[in-house]
Chains A and B, each alone.
Chain A
Amino acid sequence: MAEQLPFEKPIIELRNKISELKTFTLEKEIDLSGEIEKLETRLEQLEEDIYGNMGGWERVQIARHSQRPTTMDYIERIFTNFMELHGDRFYGDDEAIVGGIAKFEGEPVTVIGHQRGKGTKENLRRNFGMPHPEGYRKALRLMKQAEKFKRPVICFIDTKGAYPGQSAEERGQSEAIAKNLISMAGLKTPIICIVIGEGGSGGALALGVGDRIYMLENSTYSVISPEGAAALLWKDSGQAKRAAETMKITAPDLKELNLIDDVIPEIRGGAHRNVDTQAGYIRQTLKTALLEMSKYDSGELVNKRYEKFNNIGEFDHVNGVMPAE
């Protein structure tokens, strides 16, 4: 049974009631079809109201949903011939990041993504999708490999953040992330990034310096988790809901602020309700993006990427007018 989120309660209740009535109709042979029809119309309306008006906090909950599709769910549906490649060649293989080579619409690509686990056992193995430096170094190795063989890189972003641990610090978490940022900036092959769940701060950005940045409708991207922000701002991590609304972390918010290229729509209620359909939406976006990228040579790509990131920022002059550079 699917995990139920608190704000979905009215929908679930109504759905249960409808199925009760249906059972009743069958068992007692009393015709309630008029009643059922009415309720189904109401359910439709209710779903529209609730799922159509989700705020930051509701989307955070969907992004964190235990059944939310992961990188591997999309890889197996969108690509063919996928072969996973392991290890950073320095220290180890971090299973919080998966990567490999595959074909997309018949063309070779490199695919990389954060990988959460499903269930406790897999989550322990994958460290809940929170990478160590070796994860980022594996990602970079695969990107450099893609550059050599001139195939595009597709990154799926889905992490609470880089792992905050002693060993991660000792092995250079900062350096690993920073190195990915500068290397992605200069990578001579297209990079398409898609936030599919949580985009947690620097640990997300380390797979996020791309020519196109898309977000699934119910994914989030933030500089700090809502809980972390609430703890710092109001000394109360319980105010995470307020922080989620204030920080503008949802896909529609970030599109509005022009910080991402586009929002990939989700099925009503969230991607977990039909993974195949959702994968289809992503495939469509990827196809458009890669077609667009194929117009540019590697020099143009790198220049455009520079411009893209160099243009991000809001600033002013003390006197109210900012003279040009």
Chain B
Amino acid sequence: MIRDLFSKKKKYATIPSEQAKQEVPEGLMTKCPQCKSIMYIKELRKNQMVCDQCGYHHRVTSSERIAITLDEGSFEEFDAEMISKDPLQFPEYADKSAKDREKTGLNEAIITGKGTIEGMGVVIGVMDPRFRMGSMGSVVGEKMSRAIQRAVDERKPFIMFAASGGARMQEGVFSLMQMAKTSTALNRLHEEGLLFISVMTHPTTGGVSASFASLGDINLAEPQALIGFAGRRIIEQTIRQKLPDDFQTAEFLLKHGQLDQVVARKEMKKTLQNIIDIHRPAHTGIKED
């Protein structure tokens, strides 16, 4: 009986766009795409957007990610008002970016800033796949590079939550070169002996997976996140055979030695805290008895 009621309700729900389908529809309740159980959105949010029945990790926005990662009220954003140009005068690009800005309230596909995790200072970057699929163009590269420089200046660890379809096609080689730019910036961090933790979330693919996201001193991923270089369809066309179901999931990468750990969202803050603690510069060496 009660099921019928919900399915009926679903019929009348309007889904505004393709993109919105992947997010939790506005409303009171939602259905888990994995175990199909119905739950209150409010409860789901309280549970960090993780299904309490099956552990499925729903997408979180960049601001939600910051809220569940950093200490409350500690976040200070950098370069919030930087927006992309249209260096190639690429058809529809300016319009699409403007629409994404309006729809998501974000200025670009990344938020950067600083804050604390259990009182320890960090510089953080969080990508948001709602904006141009989280693709990396000039702004993503520039904001990251500036954030990394801040980490160097303030001698803080840098944490990056990747979520991206790859390089942004509409900025052509400018986008491609952001792979080099972010890697070059990370080399500076590396030379300074500072910590970089890369957290790959769903999805981390293409030029983002093949640059900064793979360069953590510690590489972590959320369960079931899609991570890979080439798209599944392209690979299937190339090798003309079906790929295993778990291909390019976080678990697949762990098995193939590409990740340090797969960490559930609810364990993430604690895990980050432990890593940062172990890398604190204050250690004085083991003392004699």
Contacts and interface: CB of A to CB of B under 8 A. Distances in A.
B82 interface: yes
Interface residues of B, number: 63
Interface in A146-194: 162-166, 168-175, 177-179, 181-182, 185-186
Bin chain A's interface residue count.
Answer: 35 or more
Interface in B151-204: 167-169, 171-181, 183-188, 190-191
B101 to A, nearest CB: 9
Contacts of B168: 223
A182 B186 contact: yes
Contacts of B180: 181, 185, 205, 208-209, 309, 312
Contacts of B38: none
Given A162-B229, A169-B228, A169-B248, A246 B107 contact: no
A310 B229 contact: no
A182 B187 contact: yes
Contact of B184 (A162, A174, A209, A233): A209
Given A174-B209, A185-B183, A232 B169 contact: yes
Interface string B111-151: 00000000000000000000000000011011001100100
Nearest to B107: A318
B210 interface: yes
Interface string A192-230: 000000000110011011000000000001111000010
Nearest to B208: A174
B210 A177 contact: yes
Interface stretch (B53-61, B234-242, B278-286): B234-242
A223 B183 contact: no
A164 B184 contact: no
A232 to B, nearest CB: 7
B185 A310 contact: yes
Given A186-B187, A202-B179, A257-B87, 5 more contacts: A172-B214, A174-B214, A209-B180, A247-B90, A314-B174
